[in-house]
């Protein structure tokens, strides 16, 4: 992903701090973008299966909104699954959207994909650039709803952006993927992350059925996708596991013992070559109507 260096030179202390912060932020951003791309590559077949299931439920559609689109894994899969549709990718991050546009071009899909920078926590979340709200036949939100401050309030606004007869798909991970079943260090890391997320991201792993109903939706179908990748693994799996464990490590400073943190760093280095490497992921999709 191309780095987007918006800052130029640091002059003086305050500026330097902003500069450092910006750098940290951009690295964080880069890591997330890398993981989203690797996730899309490693779980490609599974996303295709999810899209096929969505298509069975909705039939063909003309307009799609991808909310919290990130690097566009879902956007591109939607554009391919619904060849007659235009897909609008919405994200709060301009860097993600810039990268998504590159990918849409590279995939030859740019004529049907557009991007809108908007904060889904805000009141204008789906109509940010003047898009008529009641415009989408299908709204797809993958692993983005749990980031929202008040998902029910946002979902209620999103509901108003869906045409009569249209659908919303919420697709959420139950937990972060696991790579080494039975590995005690990985288990401790996940427990620490779960404890942290319970405070700052309380809707991660939630049952979205009741939340969708609270926002006025009717849930039409729910399906759990269990992913257990065993060898032979997709080529990118080692990098996916490594990048994920490194990112996990960054977030766990002070939350694990120093010994565990050091061991986690070492594990991230060798994980691509571990013979017991697998991918276990649990994700659930809810299809709802307004
Ligand atoms: C975990 S990523 C998922 C990306 C993509 N849907 C996928 O499945 O690969 C979450 C995305 O939601 C975006 N996001 C988080 N909070 C948001 C908000 N308040 N408004 C819009 N986008 C948001 C982030 O910038 C990020 O790109």
pLDDT at 125: 52
Residues 6+ apart with CB under 8 A from 217: 155, 159, 168, 288, 289, 290
For residue 96, the ligand 1 atom closest to its alpha carbon is: 27
For residue 148, the ligand 1 atom closest to its alpha carbon is: 19
Q: Is the CB of 189 under 6 A from ligand 1?
A: no
To test ligand 1's pocket by mutation, which of 1, 31, 92 has the most ligand atoms within 8 angstroms of CB?
92
Q: Is the CB of 281 under 6 A from ligand 1?
A: no
Q: Is the CB of 168 under 6 A from ligand 1?
A: no
Give residue-wise pLDDT tens across range 166-211. 999 999 999 889 999 999 999 999 999 999 999 999 999 999 999 9
- Dihedral of CA atoms 221, 141, 120, 98 in degrees, nearest 10, equals -170
Instruction: Tokens for 277, please give them.
Output: 């490497």
Domains for the chain: give ranges and CATH numbers: 12-176+202-230+281-289 (3.40.50.150)
For residue 40, the ligand 1 atom closest to its alpha carbon is: 9
Closest CA to 281 of 205, 235, 228: 228
Task: Evaluate the CA torsion angle 126, 130, 133, 136 in order and state its sign.
Answer: negative
Closest CA to 244 of 207, 281, 276, 275: 281
Per-residue pLDDT in tens (0 to 9) along the chain, 290 residues: 333 333 333 333 444 444 555 555 666 788 899 999 999 999 999 999 999 999 999 999 999 999 999 999 999 999 999 999 999 999 999 999 999 999 999 999 999 999 999 999 987 655 544 444 348 999 999 999 999 999 999 999 999 999 999 999 999 999 889 999 999 999 999 999 999 999 999 999 999 999 999 999 999 999 999 999 998 999 899 999 999 999 999 999 999 999 999 999 999 999 999 999 999 999 999 999 99
């Amino acid at each position: 992903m191309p780095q987007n260096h918006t800052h130029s030179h640091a002059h003086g202390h305050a500026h330097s701090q902003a500069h450092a912060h910006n750098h940290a932020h951009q690295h964080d951003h880069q890591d997330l973008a890398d993981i989203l791309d690797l996730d899309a590559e490693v779980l490609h077949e599974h996303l295709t299966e999810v899209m096929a299931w969505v298509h069975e439920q909705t039939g063909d559609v003309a307009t799609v909104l991808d909310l919290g689109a990130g690097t566009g894994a879902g956007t591109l899969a939607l554009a391919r699954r619904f060849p007659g549709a235009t897909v609008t990718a919405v994200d709060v991050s301009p860097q993600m959207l810039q990268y998504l546009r590159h990918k849409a071009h590279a995939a030859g899909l740019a004529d049907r994909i557009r991007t809108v920078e908007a904060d889904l926590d805000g009141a204008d979340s789906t109509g940010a650039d003047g898009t008529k709200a009641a415009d989408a036949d299908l709204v797809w939100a993958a692993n983005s709803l749990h980031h929202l401050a008040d998902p029910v309030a946002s979902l209620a606004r999103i509901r108003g952006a869906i045409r009569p007869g249209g659908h919303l798909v919420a697709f959420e991970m139950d937990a972060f993927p696991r790579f080494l079943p039975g590995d005690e260090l990985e288990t401790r890391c996940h427990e620490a992350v779960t404890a942290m997320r319970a405070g700052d991201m309380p809707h991660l792993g939630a049952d979205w059925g009741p939340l969708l109903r609270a926002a006025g939706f009717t849930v039409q179908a729910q399906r759990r996708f269990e992913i257990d990748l065993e060898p032979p693994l997709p080529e990118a799996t080692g990098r996916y596991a490594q990048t994920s464990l490194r990112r996990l490590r960054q977030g766990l400073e002070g939350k694990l013992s120093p010994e565990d943190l050091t061991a986690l760093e070492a594990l991230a280095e060798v994980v691509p070559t571990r013979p017991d490497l697998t991918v276990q992921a649990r994700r659930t999709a809810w299809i709802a109507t307004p």
